[in-house]
Amino acid sequence: MLNVAVLVSGGGTNLQAIIDAVKNGVISDAKISLVISNKQNAYALERAENAGIKNLCISPKSYADKAEYDDAMIKAIDAEKVDLIVLAGFLVVLSERFVKHYEGKIINIHPSLIPSFCGDGFYGLKVHERVLERGVKVTGATVHFVDSGTDTGPIIMQKSVAVKPGDTPEVLQRRVMEEAEWILLPAVIDAIAHNRVRLTNGIAEVVD
């Protein structure tokens, strides 16, 4: 049974997709043991509560420095004996120490086809604004392993989404969520739960 912790900062629609996927069997052999948000008012925490999942707010602002914040996060996560950490709309930049502590056990969902429209400053609606400004015809989402960079870890799975004439950033964001993010994240978690993700020389592959 894969023990999963989900880190969130906002509305939690990706968290909800994981919760629903566990409930309806799209994800098997995994359970969400803990949800942590850096924001007390994140609706994602309410989604966790409604699903009966242990949830905490651990805010960097409550700690003297990054090291103390890291200590609090690691203590809470290790207490649940977590096998996989999922960043689902999580906006805190993780320290090198935190990433090293969980080497190879952290995945992130990014709302573009990495390596396009990613890196510092590319998050949430900003990604879709840049996509529309550039006039690309295909965008999508990516699930990747987290390394010490920003959106630079090995790509695990991607799904493309059409950009349509007249799209606004909000309409495009919703389509990318519905047609890519909410499908990809559960699929990758299920693959990891069944040891179907291989990492060779920095390249991740999902095998049948």
Catalytic amino acids? 110
* Residue list 12-41, contact with ligand GRF (CB under 6 A): 12-15
Listing DSSP states for 12-74 in one string gives -HHHHHHHHHHHHTSS-SEEEEEEEES-TT-HHHHHHHHTT--EEE--GGGSSSHHHHHHHHH
Helix boundaries (H) for 109-156: 125-134
Q: Which residue is nearest to ligand GRF (CB)?
A: 89
Interface with ligand GRF, residue 88, by CB under 6 A: yes
* Residue list 140-179, contact with ligand GRF (CB under 6 A): 173
How many residues of this chain bind ligand GRF (CB under 6 A)? 15
Interface stretch with ligand GRF, choices 3-11, 20-28, 50-58, 99-107 (CB under 6 A): 3-11
Among 27, 45, 86, 89, binds ligand GRF (CB under 6 A): 89
Interface with ligand GRF, residue 92, by CB under 6 A: no
Alpha-carbon span 172 to 72, nearest angstrom: 36
